[in-house]
A and B are shown apart, each in its own frame.
Chain A
């Protein structure tokens, strides 16, 4: 009857710690409603993969040989071999995004680019902490504020830290309403935050909306070919939304596809949350660096807007620059709220939404650029 106690006798303190971490993720998802669609499956998966001789992982059974476990299999097929899951998620994200506010005020595109600085600043800090360049780049991409991009880049670069990176990316995305106000207040004054911006959107024709995803795909593909999978799938989703003849597919992509892939992605990522890999000092460092990346991004966007204000007659509220991160629509809501706190008549929502969707485009371009450049530096 020894087999009945085998599971209990083989348990390690690291595995028990992972159950607690899984429990915390489930608590945050349910009680605090922080990214529940992802943190809940990740939390439950963390428990599943940290049970001794867990059947959800590949096992060598005496007399039988290797037996495949479902979570290891999902990881191999859905993430490791082709990055299928994060890429399919981009179709749904593209279908959800209305680029109208950006197209009606295209100069907001620049803020999306500026806010990606946090990625590279964090890569430098991670390198100073002696992470190899491919791991540093995978950690820095947490600053893309985009979970699927973080997972995809860290997987393509064969980083050892895909689990902590995914946890950091999704946790901090959920904490944007706390992180961004803190970072914005560091680099802006009360006077900056009170700057009002006129909203005079250009009219956007249906043809522009249709051409936009195609043109962006071609430009990004020609200049940064490594970004084409990310940008292409995002823009494909948006074309489904804008074409007007695939309403049913667009709705499916926005709801069912996103829900299904998110659910599978969460539980699949837990394959990288095995105690022997996850429990290390580096995991704590990665959580710290991820937070730094979000702060750097926000400050870079705000400071870039302040820099542009040196040359502009009609000033830009620096908080709009800070919305150039990919966390959509949380970041725009934060900026609208902060604008109203500074002045009850200061409505910044539409400007912030434009910068925010620009951040979505720029973050996938950043992901592709990093995938393209890092192998040459290794």
Chain B
């Protein structure tokens, strides 16, 4: 297979993993922030 295609598949794996990792960490942080800063009724 063309080396460029192999590289693009590598890029897809690493890129999507990195994006999901950042987004999941942001998701967890937002949940923590919402919990810590929620106004008690």
Contact = CB atoms under 8 A, between A and B. Distances in A.
Contacts, number: 120
Contacts of A127: 2, 4-5, 7-8
B15 to A, nearest CB: 5
Contacts of A362: 19, 23
A208 B21 contact: no
A133 B7 contact: yes
A223 B22 contact: yes
Interface residues of A, number: 48
Given A133-B8, A215-B29, A110 B23 contact: yes
B29 A120 contact: no
B18 A369 contact: yes
A373 B14 contact: yes
Contact of A116 (B7, B8, B16, B37): B16
A205 B37 contact: yes
23 contacts: A113-B19, A116-B16, A120-B16, A127-B2, A127-B5, A127-B7, A127-B8, A133-B7, A133-B11, A136-B4, A204-B34, A207-B37, A211-B37, A212-B30, A215-B29, A215-B33, A219-B25, A219-B29, A362-B19, A362-B23, A369-B14, A373-B15, A373-B18
Given A208-B33, A212-B30, A358-B23, 18 more contacts: A106-B30, A109-B27, A109-B30, A112-B23, A120-B12, A123-B11, A123-B12, A124-B9, A136-B8, A137-B8, A202-B34, A203-B39, A211-B37, A223-B25, A369-B15, A370-B15, A373-B14, A373-B15
